[in-house]
Amino acid sequence: MSLDEKQKTFIGYLLNLAKEGAEDRGALADLRSGLGREPGEMARLHKHVVPYLPEKSYNDRWYYVTATLFGLFPKHRQGCGLGTAFRPLKQKSDSMEARFVALLNAHPDDLDGHLRHAVSLLKANEQPFDWFRLLDDLLQWDHPEGHVQLRWARDFYKSNAGQTDSPGETIDDNASEREEHNHD
C-alpha cells in the first residue's frame, strides 16, 4: 500500500507548517495540543486534519496521531523510516532496544503512547524521519502479517557495515519507495 494523493497532500500540508523561516507556530502549537488525546477531544486540530480525511472514517485516528506527533517534532528526513531513525539510539543506552521492541509489540490501541515516547526520543537526539512513510505505516499497522513491524525491525537491527548514518543522508535499500515519497 502506498499513500494516495489526498494523504500525500496532508503530509505536505504539515511539512509546509514547519517550513524553515516561515514556521506557523500557532498551527504547530495546535497540533501539539492534541498529544495524548482522542480525536474527539482535539478541537484545535480539526481545521488541520478534517480537510484531508478520507470519506470513510475507519482510519481517522492515524491522521490525528500523525498530526500531533508532527507538532511535537516537525522535522522531516525523506526515505528514513522509524526503525532506521531509531537505530543510532541503541548505541546511547541499553534501554533503547527495549523501548523499540515495546513499540514493535504495541497493540493499535496503545500505539499512540508508544509513538509519542519514541518521537520524543528521536527529537531529543535530533533524528528526523519520513512523515509520509510514518502515515503509510500507521494505516497498515494492524495488518495480520505485521509487515510494518517486520520492516521497522529489519531497519533497526540492520548492520551499519558499508552504510552511512549521518543526518543528511538516507539509509534505504528500497529506491522505489524513496521515489514514491519524493515530493517537491
Per-residue pLDDT tens digits for 42-97:
999 999 999 999 887 678 999 999 999 999 999 999 999 999 999 999 988 889 99
Out of 38-47, 121-130, 162-171, least confident range: 162-171
* Other C-beta atoms lying within 10 Å of the C-beta of residue 147: 13
Give 90-98 contacts, CB < 8 A, sequence gap 24+: 90/156, 92/125, 96/121
Grid coordinates belonging to 144? 495480520
pLDDT number for residue 77: 97
Domain count, the chain: 1
DSSP state of 167: T
What CATH code is carried by the domain that includes residue 85? Answer: 1.10.520.40
Report residue 33 CA to chain centroid gap.
17
Q: Backbone phi, then psi, for 178, in 5-degree steps?
A: -60, -45
With H, G, I as helix, E, B as strand and everything else as coil, classify residue 76. Answer: strand
- pLDDT of residue 120 exceeding 90, the answer is yes
Mean pLDDT of the chain: 86
Grid coordinates belonging to 107? 497493540
For residue 104, the enclosing domain spans: 5-180
